[in-house]
Structure 1
Amino acid sequence: MPRPALALTAALCFVACDAPEAAGVLYTFTSDAAGFDTHSFYYDTGREVVVFDAQFTEPLAEALVDDIRAHTDSPIRYVVITHPNPDKFNGVGPLRAAGATVVASEATAAAIPGVHAYKRAAFIANGTFDEDSYPPEAVVDLRFTDTLRLDLLGDATIELQVLEHPGVSSTQTVAHIPAAGALIVGDLVHHGVHAWLEGGIVDGAPRPDLSAWSAALDELRDWGDVTVYGGRGASAPMDVAVVSQQDYLVGIDGVVRDYVAGVDDPDAFTGEAAAGHYAAITEAAREAFPERGLDYLITYGVYGFVQSLVR
């Protein structure tokens, strides 16, 4: 895995950019592969900014703050963590330093210490970081249980809701921005790209559940005709995003199960031969989904799903 580097950025305006007071402007900041090609979205009401997900490292979060400052002078009021994965919470420090209140559900806040410890150990062990360079554990300032309405300056609102099903991680918050017709769903949707199949980190181990992920996607339909913004890949209309992701989960489930069934020794997925097997699964996924990008996400993340099949 390459060391973290500064991100590439892109911005999208979903209403007339000369009338931010009407509906605000939603921007997209995207890291490079060293930050796992992760999107952070930020919504500028014209008077303040809300950020969704904080990036994998503090340098990437600093680049995110710089990107915000390049587009608006509005103060950064909140950063919302959609789920407890490190590319969503590791970078909260620079955003807090810029004035943001860190917001997460009680379930996400409770999961962060265990996920942080697990990921810190893994990334130090593989040489991506050393003891001093891995980001500090994220601290949440504002917690909520099921729902939270953020009333913003400029007569805008953002509605946060914890889904019943966990999805890609151990818990999932989505953010509805009514004025922009947007639903921000974290890594629940990877539209047009491969997905991270590790699962949520629970009690020090990955716990993937593709059925629960698909059920979480069904919950998104409650928001109706909105555009879905996932943690990676392109945005898409609700029906397109949900159906495409569910079809992918069915397909990738078959790809991984077929490969695992063809390996006689389950210990092969944890020993010296493991890397070769994960590379082979990646190639099988590439062949099954030639239209999808970011196949390195399979290489690094599929181990969690594989281990759930062999243990």
Structure 2
Amino acid sequence: MAKAFASQGDMAEKKISFTEIGRDLWAFTAEGDPNTGVIIGDDCVMVVDAQATPRLAHKVVEKIRNVTDKPIRYVVLSHYHAVRVLGASAYGAEQIIASEKCRAMVHERGQEDWDSEFARFPRLFQGHESIPGLTWPTMTFATKMTLYLGNRRVDLMHLGRAHTAGDIVAWVPDEGVMFTGDIVEYHSACYCGDGHFADWGRTLDAIKAFDPRAIAPGRGDALVGREMVSAAIESTRDFVASTYRPAAAVAARGGSLKEAFAAVRADCDPKFGSFAIYEHCLPFNVARAYDEALGMDTPRIWTAERDKEMWEALQG
């Protein structure tokens, strides 16, 4: 019998931090769990990424209410993954905003992703009974959208494919702060199961060109100061490249997925083995890297059944 995914046994509650990374800009983090960003404008609040359930989202709302009583008008989704979006109903926002591609991916694979992630992350989906259904964006854009929270300007941008095909960032120019979703991680493994390895580095370059003074990454601690920001971007770049390179080499010589898994582990374990959710992400990352190396541009849809089949194949 195949052993369980690493995340299925992770049931301990995580310590929450709420860090101000610029004037009225906050990062809600929890020891490698999905992060949420908070942008407070003159007249309202924007939340970036909603958490997996209303139960978890209410923890974000509690932190927001400790610093402002302004209404939460916007929820921005950096991408479509269930752990990022299914808590959106808890905020009572007027608009839920995402890229056009993100909305298309909810339609194409949102339910399958929910089912898959529910089985992988039981702790994050405690209280799942309160999820009203798939989270559908009410406003979308192709490449860029600018909103004003009073005088505070927020630019939402699709800078390129990376963690998914529909990733967006939120840029707050008055403070030089960016909310990147899972394009950038800090001391946490990148989940690449729906990623685009060939594009990810260019998207990181696009983020770096803004010269952010601070970043709220997808997972891990808030990044404050250009030195910390640069280190996290380059660590993310190294993680992605170190995952793809050995898997592509195995695929090129006709080797098996299991051989690719061993090759990636040999390269990545010494550098990234201590990162949050590393063991959880590894099989999905290798499977996607192997597929991309074989010419599959669009990631295959993960289902709960495919998860099990892949995991059993790697252990067989």
The answer to whether the superposition gives a TM-score over 0.5 is yes
Aligned-pair distance for 1:31? 4.2
| Pair 286,180 (structure 1): closer, same or farther in 2 beyond 3 Å | same
Name which structure has the greater RCO, CA cutoff 8 Å, separation 6+: 2
Q: Does 1:106 align with 2:100?
A: yes
Q: 1:284 to 1:263 in 2, by over 3 A?
A: farther
Query: Residues 6 and 41 (structure 1 numbering): CA distance in 2 closer, same or farther, change over 3 Å?
Result: farther
Instruction: Indicate the residue corresponding to 2:135 in structure 1.
Output: 138
Change (3 A) 1:255 1:176: same
The 1:233/1:279 distance shift into structure 2, 3 A limit, reads farther
1:287 to 2:270 alignment: yes
In structure 1, the residue matched to 2:17 is 10
* 1:74 matched residue in structure 2: 70
Indicate the residue corresponding to 1:116 in structure 2.
110
Q: Deviations over 1:1-51 (max 9, x none)?
A: 258887642122245xxxxxxxx4111212466xxx111010223542111
Aligned sequence identity (%) = 20
Task: Could you tell me which runs of 5 or more consecutive residues in structure 1 were left unpaired when the two chains were aligned.
Answer: 16-23, 200-207, 270-276
Is the aligned partner of 1:90 residue 2:77?
no
Counterpart for residue 233 of structure 1:
220
Classify the secondary structure of the residue corresponding to 1:223.
coil
Aligned partners of 2:172, 2:50: CA distance in 1, in Å?
Answer: 18
Work out whether residues 19 and 26 of structure 2, in 8 Å CA contact, stay in contact via their aligned partners in 1: yes
Aligned-partner Cα distance in 2 for 1:65–1:242 = 29
Q: Displacement of 1:75 after TM fit?
A: 1.2
Alignment of 1:1-311 (within 5 A): 1=8, 8-15=15-22, 24-31=23-30, 37-45=33-41, 47-95=43-91, 97=92, 99-123=93-117, 128=122, 133=129, 135=131, 136-153=133-150, 155-163=151-159, 165-199=160-194, 208-234=195-221, 235=223, 237=226, 238-257=229-248, 265-266=256-257, 285-289=268-272, 292-299=275-282, 301-302=284-285, 303-309=287-293
Cα distance in 2 for residues equivalent to 1:292 and 1:4: 17
User: Structure 1's 42 and 87: CA in aligned 2 closer, same or farther, altered over 3 A?
Assistant: same
Contact 1:158 1:178 in 2 (8 A): yes
Q: Is contact 1:5-1:32 (8 Å) kept?
A: no
When the two structures are superposed, what TM-score results if normalisation uses the length of structure 2? 0.74
CA contact 2:30–2:220 (8 Å) conserved in 1: no
Counterpart-to-counterpart distance in 1, 2:59 and 2:262: 32
Deviates more, 1:104-113 or 1:299-308: 299-308
Q: CA RMSD in A?
A: 3.3
Q: Which runs of 5+ in 2 are unaligned?
A: 1-7, 297-316
Q: Is the 8 A contact 1:11 1:29 kept in 2?
A: yes
| Cα distance between partner residues in 1 of 2:130 and 2:12 | 14
Structure 1 residue 210: Cα displacement: 0.9
Q: Check whether the contact 2:100–2:166 (CA below 8 A) recurs between aligned residues.
A: no
Contact 1:6 1:32 in 2 (8 A): no
Question: SS in structure 2 opposite 1:67?
Answer: helix
TM-score, reference length from structure 1: 0.75
Are the aligned partners of 2:163 and 2:192 in contact in 1 as well (CA < 8 Å)? yes
CA-CA distance at 1:222 after TM superposition: 3.3
The AA in structure 2 aligned to 1:159 is: D
